[in-house]
Amino acid sequence: MSIRAVNLCHVYGQGTALEQYALKNINLEIGDGQFIGLIGHTGSGKSTLIQHFNGLLKATSGELFYNGENICAPGYDMKKLRSKVGLVFQYPEHQLFEVDVFSDVCFGPKNLGLSEEEIRERAEEALSLVGLDESYYKQSPFELSGGQKRRVAIAGVLAMHPEVLILDEPTAGLDPKGRDEILGEIEKLHREKNMTIILVSHSMEDVARYADRLIVMNHGEKMFDDTPRNVFRHYRELEAMGLAAPQVTYIVQALREQGIPIDDGLITVEEARDAILRLVGKEPAAGSRKVDAAEEREELAAEAGKKAPAKDGGNSPLSPDGAELTETAGKDEG
């Protein structure tokens, strides 16, 4: 499986006074089984790019190949493409429309002309993969929490058996518990199914923790395409684009400015913790596990000897089931 873009361009309002280049000569190739983070400020071209990958938008110029076939060519089977390149929108309500959860997840496979038995098996498998058991099957998807709606939306795409899963801000508007649960499920899919993941996110911590490759967009151009570790070494350039590196990056740089010999490529709390332990003559515990984002916050708070403040100053309650902290979230128009 591969996606390859060659001089890909997209112009909104071409030939009008409102003409705007959303993508400018994008060249990249995405291989099988990669976990890619895609970042950029609002309007950078992220969402426009991923909508080309599954044929929702047609390129103004350039070429886009999937498994060696030019999807921009006349007569290309877009239905087949969309069954193999699944896209989960930022707002799950945009792709939920059936009366109950199970029917919603069955919708895609039905359009593939499968037997009733295979449709049912695919839906059950997909719902299991995202952690939703039979107790959810007959519930209305519109009455679920934000985190649960996203799980249903992801399951609906997984039931198509895609080779590529694209997620546009899958944690937007979720509380920390809901965010960590969704990202954990995505990482599990990547690990167990060797599924290619493209994660669009504004969270530098999330892409640092999960992605093995990071693509940075700015004003429709690809600015960086490298490992997260190498990209975040350019934190000053990222700041000039309206972005930032993970908070650990700034802590590490502050230590280096004080003459402390610590690696400038550390991007997670776990890495920084282990490096600091070694600097003070202590060896990290053997086989130390990978901590999730919620545990990182707790560990940082414990180290500081005080309770970690909530992102909003501590006034927003957390739901017991990963529900949305708020129904509103910044929409990426790019």
> Which CATH superfamily hosts domain 33-55+78-228?
P-loop containing nucleotide triphosphate hydrolases (3.40.50.300)
Where are the domains positioned within the chain?
Answer: 33-55+78-228, 247-304
Quote the CA–CA distance of 241 and 40 in Å, as a whole number.
8
Q: Which residue has the higher pLDDT, 117 or 306?
A: 117
pLDDT of residue 229 exceeding 90, the answer is yes
19-44 as b/e: b if 16+ CB within 10 A: eebbbbebeeebeeebbbbbbbbebb
For the record, the structure tokens of 334 come out as: 């790019």
* Amino acid 287: pLDDT: 55
Q: Which residue has the higher pLDDT, 173 or 170?
A: 170
Quote the CA–CA distance of 1 and 5 in Å, as a whole number.
14
Per-residue model confidence as pLDDT tens digits over 249-286: 999 999 999 999 999 889 988 899 999 999 988 888 76
- Percent of the chain residues past pLDDT 90, beyond the cut: 63
Q: Which residue has the higher pLDDT, 206 or 330?
A: 206
Give me the phi and psi of 328, to 5 degrees please.
-105, 145
* Amino acid 98: pLDDT: 92
* Amino acid 123: pLDDT: 96
* Amino acid 53: pLDDT: 96
**Burial class, 246, CB count within 10 angstroms (exposed 0-12 / middle 13-18 / buried 19+):** buried
Cβ(100)–Cβ(74) below 8 Å: no
pLDDT of residue 121 exceeding 90, the answer is yes
**Burial class, 77, CB count within 10 angstroms (exposed 0-12 / middle 13-18 / buried 19+):** exposed
pLDDT of residue 327 exceeding 90, the answer is no
pLDDT of residue 316 exceeding 60, the answer is no
Quote the CA–CA distance of 143 and 129 in Å, as a whole number.
21
DSSP 8-state assignment for residue 81: H
- What is the mean predicted confidence (pLDDT) over 307-323? 38
* Amino acid 15: pLDDT: 87
pLDDT of residue 329 exceeding 50, the answer is no
* Amino acid 248: pLDDT: 92
